[in-house]
Amino acid sequence: MPNLKEAAALLARANDVTLLGHVRPDADALGSALALGRALQLRGAKVRVSVGEPEEMPETLRSLDVGGLYVPASELPESEQLLVALDTPTPGRLGKLAPRVDAVRAAGGEVLVIDHHASNVFFGTTHVVDDTAEATAVLVFALLEELGTEIDEPIARCLYAGLVTDTSGFRRARPSTHVMAAKLLEAGVNPDKVVREIVEDHPFAWLPMLSGVLAGARLEPDEARGFGLAHAVVTLDAARSVRAEEVEAVIDVIRSTREAGVAVVLKEAEPIGPGQRWTVSLRSAGGVDVSAAAGELGGGGHRQAAGCTAEGTAGEVLDRLRAALSRAPLL
């Protein structure tokens, strides 16, 4: 694995560390950061875990922060000796915390990037980047083994959360990743509890929200290079009754339809200027490289799971996505 020993040596001598996940973090981003953060804290380092957006940790992931490592972005110190960016392919995905990368480097500090996205631009001073890893949690687990860290239950739970979500419930996991999962279970992880808390636990308000969104879903069987495009839109009004976690879960419903070679969900974001702004989730059933389509709109991700941010009406954004998908490589 690239630079594993170098990264482990860097972490071993660190005594003041800030670990960052990408904005609107998922279980892989925060689980990886909290697992590594706890390991470093147990070694005696001062540790902070944060994201650029939102200020508060997503409710479904709060049980992972056993050591109270999470710090809102607004409460971070001005600088740190070591900055670790996890599950983040570009500085822009750090949101308002992106300037810290240049600030740490300018001050002579170190920036360690741990990521599994093919679109990573290698913006740190040291990198553990492997796009064949199913999750960033896989890379953190390898780092902890290199460090000789004992994997306790809280660390294992954080890593398992990232693993089970980024592999779609192990449907995309290699044999070696199942072996890793077995080691995490041996450390005491309760898999049913983790999945229920992070993936399946929704308030009742999710049902009427989902009902309204699905009523407007559309299938275009000839789009996405003939593989079929299913799409839905979540407006700000629809999202106000639920948490961000419920909005993010809509894509998993849309992608489950048999005819959806590509699934797209547009989620309206608070406007910065006079127009509408959307965060877009794309999923591929395996025929089309959605990371290429997202890349045309300034985003990125994996070949089968990607995202971007776009401005305009929902119809205008969908038109741009249709065009980008028509040019996307086949898998």
Give CA–CA dist 180/162, Å, rounded: 12
Which residue in 120, 197, 161, 153 sits closest to 32, CA to CA?
161
**Inter-CA distances, 262 with 117, 140, 201, 329, Å:** 19, 30, 26, 13
Residue 175 has pLDDT above 80, yes or no: yes
pLDDT at 103: 94
Residues 287-319: b if buried by 16+ CB within 10 A, e if exposed? bbbbbbbbbebebbbbbbbbbbbbeeebeebbe
User: Which secondary-structure segment (H or E) carries 194?
Assistant: helix 191-195
Q: How far is CA 9 from the centre of its chain?
A: 26
Q: Which long-range contacts (CB under 8 A, 24 or more apart) does 254-257 make?
A: 254/217, 254/230, 254/283, 255/230, 255/283, 255/285, 257/219, 257/230
pLDDT at 255: 95
**pLDDT mean over 70-85:** 94
pLDDT at 14: 95
pLDDT at 1: 60
Residue 184: what residue type?
Answer: L
pLDDT at 164: 96
pLDDT at 65: 97
Q: How confident is the model at residue 300 (pLDDT cuts 50, 70, 90)?
A: confident
Query: Does 329 sit behind a cis peptide bond, omega within 30 degrees of 0 on the bond before it?
Result: no
Contact 113, 122 (CB under 8 A): yes
Which residue in 227, 212, 211, 209 sits closest to 264, CA to CA?
227
Which residue in 96, 104, 54, 57 sits closest to 78, CA to CA?
104
**Inter-CA distances, 236 with 7, 53, 251, Å:** 42, 17, 16
pLDDT at 258: 94
Contact 198, 27 (CB under 8 A): yes
pLDDT in tens, 178-227: 999 999 999 999 999 999 999 989 999 999 999 999 999 999 999 999 99
pLDDT in tens, 133-162: 999 999 999 999 999 999 999 999 999 999
Contact 131, 23 (CB under 8 A): no
Compute φ and ψ for 222, nearest 5 degrees. -95, -10
Q: Which residues contact 77 (CB under 8 A, 6 or more apart)?
A: 18, 48
pLDDT at 190: 97
Residue 169 has pLDDT above 80, yes or no: yes
pLDDT at 78: 87
**Inter-CA distances, 74 with 51, 112, 141, 306, 324, Å:** 10, 22, 29, 28, 37
pLDDT in tens, 38-70: 999 999 999 999 999 999 999 999 999 999 999
Compute φ and ψ for 48, nearest 5 degrees. -135, 140
- In this structure, the number of other CB atoms found within 10 A of the CB of residue 244 comes to 15
| Full set of structural domains in the chain with CATH | 4-200 (3.90.1640.10), 205-327 (3.10.310.30)
pLDDT at 274: 81
Contact 39, 143 (CB under 8 A): no
**pLDDT mean over 11-21:** 96
pLDDT at 2: 66
The gap between the terminal CA atoms of the chain, to the nearest Å, is 25
pLDDT in tens, 249-290: 999 999 999 999 999 999 999 887 788 999 999 999 999 999
Q: What is the DSSP letter of 56?
A: S
pLDDT in tens, 87-131: 999 999 999 999 999 999 999 999 999 999 988 999 999 999 999
User: Which secondary-structure segment (H or E) carries 128?
Assistant: strand 126-129
**pLDDT mean over 167-184:** 95
